[in-house]
């Protein structure tokens, strides 16, 4: 085909598209055809630029919306446009691996990769033993389209250091715009705490996942501001973004997110002071043991706290330990008790991934129910990543998740101390501190089934593994000295 013929064909297709678009707008009052060019670009990227498709999907995450917002009568739900993109990336990536058979085996041998594969395999086993197999299968497949693209493909993507920064800022910048939009909406209600619980809908389910996402990215922004190796203009931009995120976090009224940042700060000092991992784990075990031994006294003390969540920040913080009258705290305890009772009935395989919300109702005790309790299966999950896994996938399911967290921590600390480049140390510290916020947050909520949290969780883990595999080795390689001829032999 000649160049002139190609030009004629291009304009003919363009005119035809415009005519069809005008017809659909006039006849059906719909603008859906306007999405066709973007759809074609995305499909082309999936086949010819999979890395860019993945990064584009990260850009879309803060503004992804559940399909049920548009079609409430649907029998299923999916976040658009992100989850269809994830499915496409998963399919093309797996297809390329099967056809080319050149995936780096060192990645698969990495301890965190091994633990992640075991995590997926055990959940697949519990899908087979599930009390609601279809729900569990959907839940397991959904975990695949988060873990495979953003962890196993993400490790390859992050071999290029620039892609790490792209990942962070492609999420952070649109998220900052969403935070500003949310704050403007919230200001119309004088930043009322009760309105703030759902003001970020439909982009986030509620304030808890919104606060958790902000907390995960704050360590990177703060580290970026403080890193002297970064150019001043970029540090100023990061400072502006940090202020937006901090204000967003404050007015999210998410107590768990505030607590998680204390854990991130502790993680930072552990890295900077080179505190031994043995000491850290010993302190954690002593803390858990102390709580178990003194739980009666602790609970009695907490029962004396009657301060409820409030717009007053000092009262809101004090309400964290209110287990007498705070409905949110009491409902969490109700869900946790249900999870433990469910585990006792099915301790090995659990009830199946994703089944908690459909099965927990009979395990509620009337004296533990609250004004926000429900039996309809529409009130959310176990409100704990750990106890949710315990109920749905048995003891091994919970231990698998805990071991994933431990291996992330060990890999992150080891990698940080091996690195010499301060920018790389910033990335590892930021990713690890961000993940620690979720390790702590996961005790009070579970969000690894939503794109807003699952993507940074597995993406940060992939960054740590990529730097461990590809950057540490490169830094430690000593260039060979050039061979010079001895003058005496010349």
Lowest mean pLDDT among 249-253, 289-293, 466-470: 289-293
Which residue, 278, 259, 258, 275, is CA-closest to 267? 275
User: What local confidence, expressed as pLDDT, does residue 488 receive?
Assistant: 41
Is residue 431 pLDDT above 70, yes or no? yes
Number of domains in the chain: 1
Is residue 325 pLDDT above 80, yes or no? no
User: What local confidence, expressed as pLDDT, does residue 361 receive?
Assistant: 87
Q: How far apart are CA 428 and CA 414, in angstroms?
A: 10
User: Does 39 reside within a domain?
Assistant: no
Beta carbons within 8 Å of 183's beta carbon, 6+ residues apart: 247, 248, 251
HSE-up (13 A, CA, CB side) for residue 309: 19
What average pLDDT score do residues 126-144 get? 94
Q: How far apart are CA 296 and CA 411, in angstroms?
A: 37
Domain containing 171 equals: 114-290+379-472
User: Does 19 reside within a domain?
Assistant: no
Higher pLDDT, 72 or 172: 172
User: Does 23 reside within a domain?
Assistant: no
Higher pLDDT, 15 or 32: 15
Is residue 19 pLDDT above 50, yes or no? yes
User: Does 450 reside within a domain?
Assistant: yes
User: Does 100 reside within a domain?
Assistant: no
User: Does 216 reside within a domain?
Assistant: yes
User: Does 347 reside within a domain?
Assistant: no
Q: Are 333 and 367 in contact (CB under 8 A)?
A: no
User: Does 246 reside within a domain?
Assistant: yes
Highest mean pLDDT: which range of 59-68, 152-161, 226-235: 152-161
User: What local confidence, expressed as pLDDT, does residue 298 receive?
Assistant: 60
Which residue, 126, 149, 132, is CA-closest to 389? 126
347: confidence class by pLDDT, cuts 50, 70, 90: very high
Number of H helices, E strands in the chain: 22, 2
Higher pLDDT, 203 or 15: 203
Higher pLDDT, 173 or 70: 173
């Amino acid at each position: 085909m000649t160049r002139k013929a190609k030009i004629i064909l291009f304009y003919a297709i363009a005119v035809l598209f415009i005519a069809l678009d005008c017809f659909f707008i006039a006849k059906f009052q719909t603008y859906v055809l306007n999405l066709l060019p973007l759809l074609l670009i995305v499909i082309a990227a999936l086949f010819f630029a999979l890395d860019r498709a993945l990064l584009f999907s990260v850009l879309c995450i803060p503004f992804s919306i559940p399909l049920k917002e548009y079609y409430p009568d649907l029998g299923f739900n999916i976040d658009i446009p992100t989850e269809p993109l994830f499915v496409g990336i998963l399919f093309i990536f797996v297809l390329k691996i099967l056809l080319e058979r050149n995936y780096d085996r060192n990645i698969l041998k990495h301890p965190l990769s091994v633990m992640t594969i075991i995590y997926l395999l055990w959940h697949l086993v519990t899908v087979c033993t599930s009390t609601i197999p279809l729900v569990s299968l959907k839940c397991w497949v959904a975990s695949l389209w988060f873990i495979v693209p953003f962890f196993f493909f993400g490790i390859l993507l992050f071999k290029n250091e620039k892609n790490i920064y792209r990942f962070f800022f492609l999420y952070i910048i649109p998220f900052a715009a969403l935070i500003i939009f949310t704050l403007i909406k919230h200001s119309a209600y004088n930043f009322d705490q009760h309105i703030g619980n759902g003001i970020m809908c439909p982009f986030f389910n509620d304030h808890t996942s919104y606060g958790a996402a902000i907390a995960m990215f704050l360590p990177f922004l703060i580290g970026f501001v403080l890193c002297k190796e970064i150019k001043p203009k970029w540090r100023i931009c990061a400072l502006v973004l940090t202020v937006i995120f901090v204000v967003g976090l404050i007015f999210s009224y998410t107590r768990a997110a505030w607590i998680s940042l204390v854990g991130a700060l502790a993680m930072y000092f552990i890295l900077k002071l080179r505190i031994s991992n043995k000491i850290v784990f010993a302190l954690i075990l002593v803390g858990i043991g102390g709580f178990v031994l003194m739980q009666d006294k602790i609970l009695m003390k907490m029962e004396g706290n009657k301060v409820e969540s409030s717009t007053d920040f000092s009262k809101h913080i004090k309400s964290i330990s209110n287990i007498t009258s705070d409905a949110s705290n009491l409902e969490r305890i109700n869900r946790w008790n249900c999870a433990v009772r469910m585990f006792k009935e099915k301790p090995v395989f659990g009830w199946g991934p994703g089944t908690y919300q459909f099965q927990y109702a009979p395990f509620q005790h009337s004296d533990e129910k609250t004004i926000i309790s429900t039996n309809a299966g529409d009130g959310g999950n176990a409100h704990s990543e750990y106890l949710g896994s315990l109920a749905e996938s048995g003891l091994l399911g919970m231990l698998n998740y805990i071991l994933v967290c431990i291996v992330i921590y060990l890999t992150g600390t080891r990698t940080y101390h091996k690195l010499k480049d301060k920018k790389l140390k910033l990335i590892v510290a930021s990713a690890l501190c961000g993940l620690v916020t979720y390790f702590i947050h996961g005790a009070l909520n579970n969000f690894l089934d939503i794109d807003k949290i699952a993507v940074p969780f597995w993406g940060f883990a992939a960054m740590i593994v990529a730097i461990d595999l590809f950057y540490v080795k490169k830094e430690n390689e000593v260039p060979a000295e050039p061979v010079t001829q001895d003058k005496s032999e010349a």
